[in-house]
Amino acid sequence: MRKFLDHNGNFWIATAKEDSTMDYKGRYYMYLREENGTEAKGYALSDVRWNSEEVASRTLKTMSDVELRRRLRSARGRG
């Protein structure tokens, strides 16, 4: 799990959620949600996938705020 600021100064949480399929490849995907919950839902980025929760956690910890904001803009544009 990783906390970051969007371009408006709101805190967001980037985390990994588990896909409930039987396929273990890419079982975890990126999920973004606003920390204070003013948005009714979060955003799933199903194109960003990891094989394990440990790898997802490590990757999220090393992602820059710029990258996370870019991913958030992309997810909002889709949603």
Give me the average pLDDT of each 10-residue run along the chain (79 residues): 94 93 83 82 92 95 97 86
Delimit the domains of the chain by residue range. Answer: 2-78
Quote the CA–CA distance of 33 and 35 in Å, as a whole number: 6
Give the pLDDT confidence score for residue 3 in this predicted structure. Answer: 97
Residue 46, both tokens: 């199903």
CA angle 47, 70, 34 (to 5 degrees): 85
Give the pLDDT confidence score for residue 52 in this predicted structure. Answer: 92
